[in-house]
Amino acid sequence: MEKSEATAIDVPETSRESKGKAPLLSAPAAVQHTAAPRYKRGVAIFDLILRISAATAALGATVAMGTTEETLPFFTQFFQFQASYDDLTTFSFFVIAMAIVTSYLVLSIPFSIVCIVRPLATGPRLLLIICDTLAVTLATSAAGAAAAIVYLAHNGNSSANWLAICQQFTDFCQRASGAVVGAFVAVALMIFLVLLSAIALRKR
């Protein structure tokens, strides 16, 4: 029982200290809601960190796929074996889609900072969750499509008589696989972004 009493004494002291230190900044918000802004500000900071991580992962995936090409060291008299990402339409779509997603994520950072400065504003948060949802579906479709092609390149398909090109173009395939993994990491981070925004929007 002594411990719970000690806790009960500690809590008002802490809140009194913070009230004494920053009365000018948080005074208007603290009148209406005491606990909500601090909790929402934490969510907004975590949102910014996740957003930067997702942008980095998406940028990595874009660059990795966009620079994927391989020229085999042997050639015949008429033909040199060469593979580039834009030989496959799906990989071109992947690069374009992930570049759009990266640009969006970078451009959305100011809105995320607005959410940190004004944790109770629902306008920027609603805008972010709508655009995040669209961006996550774009990134997921690009990642899924590229994954299907990478799987086909690795394993081939005997029914359709499609050969596994990865037996020749080893580096090309490894790089494309890495780009797909990066894209799925970005997708996972962006799912967290959407869920975080949903939790922050919730009426408490």
Q: Which residues lie near its own copies (CB under 8 A)?
A: 83, 87-90, 122, 126, 129-130, 133-134, 136-137, 140-149, 151-153, 155, 157, 159-163, 165, 187, 191, 194-195, 197-199, 201-204
**Cα(23)–Cα(104) distance, rounded to whole angstroms?**
36
Q: Reduced to 3 states, what is the DSSP secondary structure of residue 81?
A: strand
Tell me whether residue 132 is exposed, middle or buried, using C-beta atoms within 10 angstroms of its C-beta: 0 to 12, 13 to 18, 19 or more.
Answer: buried
**Cα(31)–Cα(65) distance, rounded to whole angstroms?**
52
Work out how close the CB of 19 gets to its own copies at its nearest, in angstroms, rounded to a whole number: 24
The smaller minimum CB distance to its own copies, of residues 10 and 87, is found at 87
The smaller minimum CB distance to its own copies, of residues 23 and 42, is found at 42
Helices 123-155 and 89-107, interaxial angle, to 10°?
A: 160
Tell me whether residue 203 is exposed, middle or buried, using C-beta atoms within 10 angstroms of its C-beta: 0 to 12, 13 to 18, 19 or more.
Answer: exposed
The smaller minimum CB distance to its own copies, of residues 18 and 137, is found at 137
The smaller minimum CB distance to its own copies, of residues 63 and 129, is found at 129
The smaller minimum CB distance to its own copies, of residues 64 and 153, is found at 153
Work out how close the CB of 25 gets to its own copies at its nearest, in angstroms, rounded to a whole number: 22
Work out how close the CB of 24 gets to its own copies at its nearest, in angstroms, rounded to a whole number: 26
Q: Reduced to 3 states, what is the DSSP secondary structure of residue 1?
A: coil
Work out how close the CB of 87 gets to its own copies at its nearest, in angstroms, rounded to a whole number: 4
The smaller minimum CB distance to its own copies, of residues 75 and 162, is found at 162
Work out how close the CB of 122 gets to its own copies at its nearest, in angstroms, rounded to a whole number: 5
Work out how close the CB of 114 gets to its own copies at its nearest, in angstroms, rounded to a whole number: 16
Tell me whether residue 125 is exposed, middle or buried, using C-beta atoms within 10 angstroms of its C-beta: 0 to 12, 13 to 18, 19 or more.
Answer: buried
At 157, phi and psi to the nearest 5?
-150, 115
